A and B are shown apart, each in its own frame.
Chain A
Amino acid sequence: MDNVIEIRGLTKDYETGFLFKKKIRALDDLTLNVKGGQIFGFLGGNGAGKTTTIKTLMRLQFPTAGSAKILGRDIGDIDLHRSIGYCPENPYFYDYLSAVELMDYFGRLFGYDQAARTQKTTELLDAVGLEEKDRKKQLRKYSKGMLQRVGLAQALINGPEVVFLDEPMSGLDPVGRREIRELIASLRDKGVTVFMSTHILSDIEALCDEVAILRNGKLAANGNLGELLSQNEGSRTLEVRVQGVVADAIRDKIEFIAGAAMKSTPDGANINILDEADIDAVLHVTREAGGRLISVQPVKQSLEELFVKETE
């Protein structure tokens, strides 16, 4: 699959202060490719540059240096916006409009006729789970979660090929999150590329094919999620769970094994070892002390560990 998003050396400086202006680099020489038809997770701590990147791609801000293309077209090309969608973080809309009126307004900007606008509005508000009774209320009466749903619906009004979602799960309750997760997964099934920034790592793990992690405006890691998580395979550990032993009674013998570490549990101990060959030694010590083996399993690096490692 070809790259649908190509970012080359994107840099963004902000000026702060009044008399003595100071430059702050929010985005530093970011180069990134995103292949089509996937859900791409864009991660990073607060202030890492995620929203700055998305805003620059949406031409809400102008880059200090660098360039970017979406679907092979420069981001400054207005016509490109016929083929993309965007749901901003904490979306704000005209609060004097209802959800139906807002969708109709945006539909008009794309040139849809009345029948198409009505059909799309109904389909999309159904898809994001906005209840029928709420659709004609003014948006100023909406909760954060309801606005988030409208934000997603309006991002899809033009049937985009690429959609940018900035914290799409923000403000949603667990049921809402699951519904929106299913909606995002269904977009991928239809061939839509989803570029999603979020802090909710479980959503990334559940949805994303590839991820990029930003740290202080720079790209810290990028690649297939599974591959990134298994990159630390060499230092992966095995966890041996044993019961019927007092941890302190076997601590000296266990810690004699190279690289082994032990944590006591209410009914035994969890012993981490680096080498499979040490399992026998651990079992021997455990049985001598009257204990028994419960399980042996590899300890996988979690996305949270990867995130913490790459963003610290």
Chain B
Amino acid sequence: MSAEKVGPPSRILTIALNAFREAVRDRILYNLILFVLLITGSAIFLGELTAGQESRVIVNLGLSAILIFGTFISIFVGVSLVWKEIEKRTVYSIFSKPVGRGEFIVGKYLGLCLTLLVNVSVMGAGVSLALLYVGGGELVSAIWPAIFLIYLELTIITAVAITFSSFSTPALSALLTFFVFVIGHFSSSLRDLASDMASTTAKALFDGVYYLLPNFAHFTFVTETANGIMPDGRFIGMAVIYALAFDAVLLAIAVLVFSRRNFK
């Protein structure tokens, strides 16, 4: 009964699926109940308040809620994902098996990304149903590219959270990740502000922030979607490349830091 020699991809998948199972058993997906209540309530009551604008309000509200709920999970689950394993000493038995530290980090990351994928998909289905309920069926196909873009943004926020948590406490990591989320949504504005500044130091600083931190404007398409406009293939393609590049760099940093760590 000898074991088949499995490579890193198989072990990463095993770790990812277990991380997903952990999220499910830790009731992370219970946030969906709150989301369903929010969307259902909106669909029923907003129609009376905003004559003829129900669909647009539901898209705006629904997609923003997907981003907020997803960000909440990315930050708070992301920062504790690895930290919890060290604190609870579950890493001891994992690393006595033929599992590399990089495989572990990537596996945990992909497990949370899978959780987020299920989360945003169910939420997207909820928004679609709410649109059908208020007679905004023509917007149903338009929301999915925007949801995909939100999902890409969440994968970056998760990678940021894991990277910070590889060398910092969960509380500080959560705070820093939240700053990155906020700055990332305003980095284009910061750059515009910098271009009007006389000080070269301030300009260099804001330029540095723009290039160093992720620019989430590449993933923001909510307002356009509410007006029935869909992103073209090039926009989505660039967003995918941008997200993958950031994810890869952030995970490489996290793996590098985690690989040198002593477990006391």
Contact = CB atoms under 8 A, between A and B. Distances in A.
A159 B1 CA distance: 9
A108 B263 contact: no
Contacts of B212: none
A217 interface: no
Most buried by A among B5, B11, B89, B96: B96
B1 A119 contact: yes
A204 to B, nearest CB: 23
B263 A60 contact: yes
Contact of A79 (B1, B95, B98): B98
A106 B57 CA distance: 48
Contacts of B98: 78-82, 109-110
Contacts of A81: 96-99
A120 B1 contact: yes
B3 A94 contact: no
Contacts of A60: 91-92, 95, 262-263
B3 A92 contact: no
Contact of B263 (A55, A93, A112): A55
B96 A84 contact: yes
Q: Is the interface on chain B under 10, 10 to 19, 20 to 34, or 35 or more residues?
A: 20 to 34
A154 to B, nearest CB: 6
Given A58-B96, A86-B96, A111 B90 contact: no
A62 B262 contact: yes
A116 interface: yes
B93 A154 contact: yes
A96 B93 contact: no
Contacts of B260: 62
A91 interface: yes
A3 to B, nearest CB: 21
B130 to A, nearest CB: 33
A96 B88 contact: no
Interface string A59-91: 111100000000000000011111011101001
A229 B25 CA distance: 53
B199 to A, nearest CB: 35
A81 B101 CA distance: 13
Contacts of A159: 1
A154 B6 CA distance: 18
Interface of B: 1, 3-6, 10-11, 14-15, 18, 21-22, 25-26, 88-100, 260, 262-264
Interface of A: 14, 55, 58-62, 78-82, 84-86, 88, 91-97, 105-106, 108-113, 116, 119-120, 151, 154-155, 158-159, 164
